Amino acid sequence: MSFEIIAMVILAAVLHAGWNTLIKIKGNRLVTMAVFTLAGSIVSFLVVPWIAFPDRASWPLLGLTVLLHTGYHIFLPIAYDHGDLGQVYPIARGSAPLLVAVGALVVAGETLAPFSLVGVLCLASGVMALVFEKEREFWTNSKAVFYALLTGGFIACYTVADGLGARKAGSVLGFAMWLTIGDGLLTFLIVFCWKGRKMLSMVRDNFLIGILGGAMQAGTYWIIVWALALAPMAMVSALRETSVLIAAVISTFILKEGFGTWRFISAGLVTLGLIASRTGR
């Protein structure tokens, strides 16, 4: 994987950690997610006139990945409602690269060189190491674990669909734009039908933060879809999940939540994974 792709995916990870931090500090996470996705679709609408439309061959995968992204947007906040944010998120994000590696092999016949596979395993393990950071009976909370793993399944499935669709789209950015438009509108519609008209006041009260979060969310997906079209899906997925470590750094140095043993272990594994991802072929 080239240095340019690695740098862009890490930038996407920073953006991802940023908008997840905004969701963390807001009240109703599900409604906040819906506001962010709607704002992301608006941002994409503003850009789409200058971007080529994706080829017809990619439309079925575009429709599929819109549904998968929407499922992710719905179930991630639900997982947060049942478990600790700092442990649900690493399970969801850490399980995804391994599932993507399997999915890319089965669906696309995409294999990794041994050193690259080591990088994926190190990155995924480093992310999931954060689960053990806090001494809580997390694993006995079956609902939290279930929804976190279900969210990881959605992440893995949409990553593979994104990669296959972007490679057929002709216009990679066009695919990414319409993806963010479609899942943003669908997520907002579902949550609006669920939560009712009280959402409208929250959209009005959080308009500026919604635009910021939506722009960060949309930018994340644009970069990742672009990278998935050019690099092995499992490696892109693994690098993207360094967002969890970035979020841990934010919580340590900005939110002053401490830097425990498991964060050192996580940092070491992620560093090894980044080195392997850069040098593996």
Q: Would you give per-residue pLDDT tens digits along the chain (281 residues)?
A: 788 888 899 899 889 888 877 776 666 778 888 888 988 999 899 988 999 999 999 999 999 999 999 999 998 888 877 776 666 767 777 766 667 777 777 776 766 677 677 777 776 677 666 666 555 555 566 787 788 889 888 988 998 899 999 999 999 999 999 999 999 999 999 998 887 777 777 777 777 788 888 889 899 989 999 999 888 887 787 777 677 777 667 766 665 655 566 666 766 676 666 666 555 54
110 half-sphere exposure, CB direction, 13 A CA radius: 23
Are the C-beta atoms of residues 187 and 130 closer than 8 Å to each other? no
What is each CA distance from 58 to 38, 71, 87, in whole angstroms? 23, 20, 35
Single-letter amino acid code for the residue at 143:
K
**Residue 135, Cβ density class (10 Å: 0-12 exposed, 13-18 middle, ≥19 buried):** exposed
Could you tell me how far CA 229 lies from the centroid of its own chain?
Answer: 16
Cβ-based neighbours of 145, under 8 Å, separated by 6 or more: 83, 91, 138, 139
Q: Which two tokens stand for residue 49?
A: 């006139």
Q: Alpha-carbon distance 46 to 227, whole Å? A: 22
